[in-house]
Structure 1
Amino acid sequence: MMNEPKNNAGTIDRTGQQMGNYRLISSLELDKYSRMYLAEHIQFKQQCIVKVWQVQLKQELVDSFLSQAQALAQLVQPHILRVRDAGVENLTPFLAMDYTPHITLQQRSSRGIPRPLASILPLLQPLAEALQYAHNNGFIHKNARPRNILLDRNNDVLLSNFSIAAITQSEQQPNHLRAEEVTELLGYMAPEQMQGKAVPASDQYGLAVVIYEWLNGDLPFHGSYGEMVNQHLHVQPPSLHKKVPTLPSAIEEVIFTALAKDPHQRFSSIAAFIQALQQEYSKASSPVIAQRVASSAPVAYPRPFFPSTGVGNPPAQQAVLTPPPPVPANAAPIIPIQAAPAQYAPVSPASYPQYAPPVPVTPAPSAEARNTPPPQPKAKGSATISRRAFVAGLVGVAALGGGGAWLAFSQRLSAPSFASNAPNASANQSTNPNQQGTILVYHGHPARVDAVAWSPDGKSIVSASDDHTVQICDAQTGATSLTYRGHAAEVYALSWSPDGKYLASAGADKTVQVWDAVTGDSFRTYKGHSDQVNAVSWSSDSKLIASGSDDHTVQVWNITNGAVVMIYSEHSAGVLAVAWS
């Protein structure tokens, strides 16, 4: 029997395989115990998220897993990511869930940077509603932490990854955990949950830790496995007021009440906790209270509630699809999942989510329209397509967009139809040969695209995004050939070396990173700037790079050894563009 392919963390990658009724299209996200995939239902041709655990269920827990998954499928609430299906293949459990483009709060925040309470209040009410709804229906989440809190394109909050007892009973805790794994496992866990006695108030404790981290810039506790357990059980968290002197003591008192070691000493419910927090904020602030972002916000992915400017966790690649319509508050429960006699709980067609078709691409403008300048001024970061670009090339230019996608335009009146059976092609691109001028729409990024560039040979396009990644795709099929994840924050600029061997990318993490365009291997990381880097440009011999930054400088340096050739510092503000003669 052949060994399953594994990533560098030892987790199995099942891309291309079938789990139950689902074909796994591409990997979206992974952790130590599970992997998320973009998948397609074999019969209904609907796309969704499939979560596959690395653990093998104990045989006696298979029915328990299916029963618990069926119960989770009954949670129908606007701020809970809905479970649609479940199954077990060769003792490997999986869940099928609705798919919507999203960013996790772990990906969007940066440890070490405190956030004002006003910026996070819009998130707390929907989170409280979701958790309170779960508690009222007999469920405890047990995993309230930033990586399980999602923001969709409209800045609406979605709660995901409820704990399933059959999974935790089958998992074997590894003997050795890295520091970040200990933090992820125990950082947000309530004392009673560590003792195997989770109650609804355990979620209140977890959410209070999340709020503490946002306000303080760091978790209350760190250390080894044993040290973390001891601190959660017996040690009072460090004062928030000392780290953030502007934070009213009354607000700190509310948070510390929710962090009480004894669950009976916390608030009576998670709704009461958030209500108390909002009341104290209202007393301490001006009459203008932070309002939740309406779901009618523009579809183009805006900046998050707290834009990242420092070190964070690089997200996994996510192929963006058009999300389904929101679930009405009065929607009837879906048809229960019926467990098959052996191992599988299929979903019925009536209960499966109906996804909207991809957003149509605006047809190419007429000749008259092309010659008429648009009346509105160009916003910062928007793309312009010159008349010369349309005339000069058959393949044309790539235009970036705020919704995590870019368009490739052609001079031809009718665009050819391209095959989409290359890896990841169906997930990341859509073509419409009937719409003049548009030959490809790439949807590989779940967040705003900030920069695009063609390879010197014209065969590939590279794009940089607020999702912290740089992605290279085939210019004809839309297949993603490489995703670079070396950046710790938004990527604002990129440039292909004239010889085609390397890419330089830069952004909010204050670095310029040079890496192999074929393998993605890092070649050089330049850290000479003291603020975000907005622009990069190669010399014609592919030996030097000029980089412009918000630190008001342009720095020219050698890619071979990182040595600075010169620093130009006469600008009085941030530098947004650089170019060689």
Structure 2
Amino acid sequence: MIDKHSLSREIEGYRLLSLLGHGNGSEIYLAEYASSHSPVAVKILPGHRAGDNLTRFFIHATRLKRLEHPYIVRVRAFGTQDDFTYLVMDYLPNGNLRERHPKGQVVESSTVVRYVRQVADAITYLHEQQLIHRDIKPHNMLINAQGNVLLSDFGISVVSHSLDPLAPQQHDFEGTVIYAAPEQLLGTPRRASDQYSLAVTIYEWLSGTWPFSGTFDELVEQHLHHMPPPLRTRNSALSPLIEQVVMKALAKSPEKRFPSMHDFAQAFTWAVEQSTPDRQTPRPTRQFRTPFSF
């Protein structure tokens, strides 16, 4: 999209330094603000936008710039130049959770709980802002200097105009098929789609492998019509409680998943705590419900 001879160029005062990565047709560059040399990440989105498409980009980017949450990467600026549009975001040099936990590595459930709490908190905030992320995966979970996980990459997020699950909006499929919910693959993403994607991620962390594998078409078929192998067939050390919570969030029908991301995170935390041999007996609260009473 931007050739190597253009890396010294400036984009609205930001000087591109090096390519950090790419995906979904976009490219992300390490850059610096020319006047202060402060590091930032610049995401270049492909395709010339004009008319209604450009208007939609500016409306959507404005919404993203207004997001302010401790577990969400801040969008600092946006604009259009030449034949592309761009987003300027905070730069986090400590990598992402895909790099920290390569495929095949099993992650301790106590560590997964910490990740889930932070990511679910960020997604809950997004949903409250009427946004659906649509690309929840370890690659989009960055690590800050304090070791916290920050959700990133909102280039394909969409506005959820209708909160009625029986009347979702129609969209072309965008995302990562390995982590995509059935309804998202059919072009009707909703908030529960982000829950499914997080559940796929948890499944991978706890077992070292994805629920499904194969070609793009094979993955679509499996997400739509096949239940994933029970989690404990991949990691027998896990408790039935943990398995039940994750498999509930992987239900084909959005209505059979947890009512919200918060409920899913609460249920998963409870299941892990109940499954820890040396846990302290939890003090019951009036508000608490078991994950299977929802």
Q: Taking structure 2 as the reference length, what is the TM-score of the superposition?
A: 0.84
User: What is aligned with 2:212?
Assistant: 221
User: What is aligned with 1:286?
Assistant: 277
CA displacement, residues 199-218 of structure 1 (integer Å, 9 cap, x when unaligned): 11111000000000011111
Higher alpha-carbon deviation: 38-47 or 73-82: 38-47
Residue 242 (1) aligns with residue 240 (2)? no
C-alpha deviation, 1:87, in angstroms: 0.7
Distance in 1 separating the partners of 2:269 and 2:16: 43
Computing the radius of gyration from Cα coordinates, the structure with the larger value is 1
Distance in 2 separating the partners of 1:143 and 1:58: 25
From the two aligned structures, give the one with the greater helix fraction: 2
Residue 193 (1) aligns with residue 193 (2)? no
Counterpart of 1:134 (choices 108, 113, 126) is: 126
C-alpha deviation, 1:165, in angstroms: 5.9
User: What is aligned with 1:18?
Assistant: 10
CA displacement, residues 348-388 of structure 1 (integer Å, 9 cap, x when unaligned): xxxxxxxxxxxxxxxxxxxxxxxxxxxxxxxxxxxxxxxxx
C-alpha deviation, 1:5, in angstroms: 2.7
Equivalent pair of 2:46/2:83 in contact (CA under 8 Å): no
Counterpart of 1:255 (choices 246, 250, 255) is: 246
C-alpha deviation, 1:185, in angstroms: 2.5
C-alpha deviation, 1:81, in angstroms: 0.1
After superposition, the Cα gap between the structure-2 partners of 1:48 and 1:83, relative to the gap in structure 1 and judged at 3 Å, is: same
Distance in 2 separating the partners of 1:133 and 1:286: 33
Residue 150 (1) aligns with residue 142 (2)? yes
Equivalent pair of 1:148/1:161 in contact (CA under 8 Å): yes
User: What is aligned with 1:68?
Assistant: 60
Equivalent pair of 2:69/2:125 in contact (CA under 8 Å): yes
User: What is aligned with 1:53?
Assistant: 45
Distance in 1 separating the partners of 2:35 and 2:102: 42
SS of residue matched to 2:131: coil
After superposition, the Cα gap between the structure-2 partners of 1:163 and 1:49, relative to the gap in structure 1 and judged at 3 Å, is: closer
User: What is aligned with 1:105?
Assistant: 97
Distance in 1 separating the partners of 2:12 and 2:242: 49
CA displacement, residues 165-217 of structure 1 (integer Å, 9 cap, x when unaligned): 69xxxxx99xxxxxxxx9x8200011111111111111100000000001111
After superposition, the Cα gap between the structure-2 partners of 1:279 and 1:165, relative to the gap in structure 1 and judged at 3 Å, is: closer
SS of residue matched to 2:44: strand
SS of residue matched to 1:25: strand
SS of residue matched to 1:114: coil
Q: Taking structure 1 as the reference length, what is the TM-score of the superposition?
A: 0.44
Equivalent pair of 2:134/2:157 in contact (CA under 8 Å): no
Distance in 1 separating the partners of 2:36 and 2:104: 46
Distance in 2 separating the partners of 1:203 and 1:25: 33
Equivalent pair of 1:20/1:88 in contact (CA under 8 Å): no
SS of residue matched to 1:112: coil
Distance in 2 separating the partners of 1:165 and 1:61: 15
SS of residue matched to 1:103: coil
User: What is aligned with 1:479?
Assistant: none
Letter in 2 for 1:38: L
Equivalent pair of 2:43/2:86 in contact (CA under 8 Å): yes
SS of residue matched to 1:144: coil
CA displacement, residues 270-298 of structure 1 (integer Å, 9 cap, x when unaligned): 11001101111111213447xxxxxxxxx
User: What is aligned with 2:255?
Assistant: 264
C-alpha deviation, 1:48, in angstroms: 1.4
Equivalent pair of 1:254/1:277 in contact (CA under 8 Å): yes
Counterpart of 2:32 (choices 16, 40, 44) is: 40
SS of residue matched to 1:16: coil
Distance in 2 separating the partners of 1:213 and 1:47: 32
Letter in 2 for 1:239: P
Residue 5 (1) aligns with residue 6 (2)? no
User: What is aligned with 1:353?
Assistant: none
Distance in 2 separating the partners of 1:90 and 1:264: 44
From the two aligned structures, give the one with the greater strand fraction: 1
Counterpart of 2:88 (choices 83, 96, 116) is: 96
Higher relative contact order (CA 8 A, sep 6+): 2
Distance in 2 separating the partners of 1:61 and 1:146: 29
User: What is aligned with 1:377?
Assistant: none
Distance in 2 separating the partners of 1:273 and 1:126: 13
Question: How well do the aligned residues superpose, as a CA RMSD in angstroms?
Answer: 2.3
Equivalent pair of 1:33/1:55 in contact (CA under 8 Å): no
C-alpha deviation, 1:98, in angstroms: 1.4
Letter in 1 for 2:88: A
After superposition, the Cα gap between the structure-2 partners of 1:164 and 1:245, relative to the gap in structure 1 and judged at 3 Å, is: closer
Distance in 2 separating the partners of 1:65 and 1:158: 23
Letter in 2 for 1:108: R
Distance in 1 separating the partners of 2:24 and 2:155: 15
**Alignment of structure 1 residues 464-475 onto 2, 5 Å:** none
| Percent of aligned pairs with the same amino acid | 35
Structure 2: unaligned runs, 5 residues or longer? 159-171, 281-294
Equivalent pair of 2:92/2:142 in contact (CA under 8 Å): no
**Alignment of structure 1 residues 507-518 onto 2, 5 Å:** none
C-alpha deviation, 1:67, in angstroms: 1.0
Residue 81 (1) aligns with residue 79 (2)? no
Distance in 2 separating the partners of 1:14 and 1:257: 49
SS of residue matched to 2:19: strand
